[in-house]
Structure formats: structure tokens, C-alpha cells
């Protein structure tokens, strides 16, 4: 029996409490299992199992070694499972939770994903609510901001920039701000985070010791699409991600302001529940979004 076989014999014996029980699981005789463990002890130069006529028990050294060997065998099982699953065809329902604003980015590339993986049934939940992936049966989520849930695996995606924008007609009437202090007296359309209830801070880089500008808030909402509509309609200055503002800026319906005074880039993350085996459908979606939805450049 090779070294891996000896380690397996030792772990199974420690798990099940006897050479005979380990032998039944491994398809070996109790004598063969016992000899494998003895050879391992001789190789390690330490007694791993305390033997008596009634039972087997781990020694202190054996207990430490068993924990390490258990992790090694689990990792080996995981590696085998990954190889096996890599040959499977991704299929089944895939529930994805996304911020409402990300549909601008996702919908144009979805046909390519569906064409590449026709046996996956997508269920997209566009919702700014902070969902519990595990309790609500969500396979993958896209989120921004802090990620406190240690039960989740994450992958950072390309950062985006928050922009301050206003309609040309509004700026023609109220004036173009040239520095953050010029925002005093301007009308502001503000976004409130649905989960925390806090107002989104504007991404202004202020000189040391400078006071925060004090625009006059005329509207607060918890939907970024509504905020964009209000700003495009001339209600005031608003803050939105660059990918949301890109089309109306290109069309001349919005104008970015104070671009030289902005900071605080935003960040999206992909999240999925941590488990020993990543399912093929989750793996292909994570890889697709990581390369297509937020590709660098």
C-alpha cells in the first residue's frame, strides 16, 4: 500500500474506531488496514493510535496528525470533484440577484450567455434590497459596497466612477459650478441606499479644511433610474455611476460637472454561497460576468 493508501487507512480507522470497520469501507481486510497504519507510524516515528483489546484511541500526536490528514483528503476529494464537474454540461435554474441599475450592462450581453449555455434557465431578480443568498436560495449576486457575510465567496469586478451630472437647461439657468464650493445654492437630487437608509455621499475631493458644500436638496429617492430621470428632466444636480450616465451624456441630455474634483470610485462584486463544490452553472456565470460584463478597458 502506498503512502496515500496508508494515510487513508489511518484516517478511516480514526473516524470509525476499528481496523475492521475501516477495512469494510476500504474493501480491505482488518489485518491489511492495521499493517498500513503500523507502517505509517514507523515512517513517522511516532505512535498515532493507542491500541487495547477493546478499542483504539488517538494519541495526542495522532489527533493532530488526523486533523491535518483529514483536510488533505478532503482537498483531494474536492480536486477530483472539480475535475468531474468540469466535464458536466451546465444546466438547471440559476437565480441571480442584481441591483436595478445593472440591467443596462447585463441585458446587451445576455444573448451570448444564453447561446453558449442553452440548458441554463436564468431567473433574474433586479432588486436593490440586500438579499440573503443562502436563506433565499440565490445562486449568484452582484453587489456594491461592504461585504460582511463570511459565508460568501467573492470576486471583485472592474471599478466604476460616480459622476455628478445635470441637464444642459438646468446649468444654463443655474450656472456651471467650477469648484465644490460653487454647489452651495444649487438644487440637488439625492439617492438613499435602500438597505441602510443613508444618503449616498457625493464623491467630491475637497481641499484640506474645506467645508462640505451645501446644495439644496429638492428630491430624495431610492431608485437610481428615477434619479437619472429627475436629473435629465432638469430638476437639479445628481450623482450616478458612469455606465448609467454614459448614454444621456453622449446624446447631450446630461453634462458631467466638477469632473476634476471627483473621488471615491465604486466597486461591484460577484458573490455566491461558499460550498465545497462550485456547481457548473454558477462557475460559467461567474466566469462570463467577470470577463464580459465588467471587462477592463
Which residue is it, cell 456651471?
176
Class of domain 3-86: mainly alpha
Question: Contact 143/239 with Cβ under 8 angstroms?
Answer: no
Phi then psi for 78, rounded to 5 degrees?
Answer: -65, -45
User: Tens of pLDDT along the chain (297 residues)?
Assistant: 688 889 999 999 998 889 999 999 889 999 999 999 999 999 999 999 998 877 889 999 999 999 889 888 888 877 776 666 656 788 899 999 988 888 888 888 899 999 999 999 999 998 877 778 877 888 999 887 666 566 778 888 878 889 999 999 999 999 999 999 999 999 999 999 877 788 999 999 988 888 889 999 999 998 899 999 999 999 999 999 998 999 999 999 999 999 999 987 788 888 888 765 678 899 899 999 988 876 543
Q: What burial class does residue 4 get, using C-beta atoms within 10 Å of its C-beta: 0-12 exposed, 13-18 middle, 19+ buried?
A: exposed
How far does CA 19 lie from the centroid of its chain? 44
Q: Where does CATH 1.10.10.10 sit in the chain? A: 3-86
Class of domain 92-159+271-293: alpha beta
Q: What is the CATH number of domain 162-261?
A: 3.40.190.10
Residues across the chain: 297
Question: pLDDT (tens digit, 9 = 90+) per residue, 61-103?
Answer: 999 999 889 888 888 877 776 666 656 788 899 999 988 888 8
DSSP H/E element including 162: strand 162-166
Q: Where does CATH 3.40.190.10 sit in the chain? A: 92-159+271-293, 162-261
Amino acid at each position: 500500500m502506498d503512502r496515500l493508501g496508508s494515510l487513508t487507512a489511518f484516517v478511516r480507522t480514526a473516524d470509525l474506531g476499528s481496523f475492521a470497520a475501516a477495512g469494510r469501507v476500504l474493501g480491505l481486510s482488518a489485518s491489511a488496514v492495521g499493517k498500513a497504519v503500523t507502517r505509517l507510524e514507523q515512517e513517522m516515528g511516532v505512535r498515532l493510535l493507542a491500541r487495547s483489546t477493546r478499542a483504539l484511541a488517538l494519541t495526542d500526536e495522532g489527533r493532530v496528525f488526523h486533523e491535518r490528514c483529514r483536510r488533505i483528503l478532503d482537498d483531494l476529494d474536492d480536486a477530483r470533484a472539480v475535475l468531474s464537474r468540469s466535464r458536466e454540461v451546465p444546466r438547471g435554474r440559476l437565480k441571480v440577484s442584481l441591483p436595478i441599475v445593472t440591467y443596462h450592462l447585463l441585458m446587451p450581453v445576455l444573448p451570448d450567455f444564453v447561446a453558449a449555455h442553452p440548458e441554463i434557465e436564468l431567473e433574474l431578480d433586479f432588486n436593490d434590497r440586500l438579499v440573503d443568498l443562502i436563506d433565499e436560495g440565490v445562486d449568484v449576486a452582484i453587489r456594491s459596497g461592504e461585504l460582511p457575510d463570511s459565508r460568501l465567496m467573492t470576486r471583485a469586478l472592474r471599478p466604476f466612477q460616480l459622476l455628478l451630472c445635470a441637464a444642459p437647461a438646468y446649468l444654463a439657468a443655474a450656472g456651471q459650478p467650477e469648484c465644490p464650493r460653487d454647489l452651495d445654492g444649487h438644487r440637488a437630487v439625492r439617492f438613499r441606499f435602500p438597505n441602510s437608509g443613508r444618503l449616498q455621499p457625493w464623491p467630491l475631493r475637497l481641499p484640506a479644511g474645506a467645508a462640505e458644500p451645501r446644495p439644496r436638496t429638492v428630491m430624495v429617492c431610492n431608485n437610481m433610474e428615477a434619479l437619472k430621470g429627475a436629473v435629465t428632466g432638469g430638476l437639479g444636480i445628481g450623482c450616478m455611476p458612469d455606465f448609467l450616465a454614459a448614454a444621456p451624456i453622449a446624446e447631450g441630455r446630461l453634462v458631467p460637472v466638477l469632473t476634476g474634483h471627483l473621488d471615491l470610485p465604486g466597486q461591484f462584486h460577484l458573490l455566491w454561497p461558499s460550498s465545497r463544490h462550485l456547481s457548473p452553472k454558477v462557475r460559467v456565470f461567474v466566469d462570463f460576468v467577470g470577463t464580459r460584463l465588467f471587462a477592463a478597458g
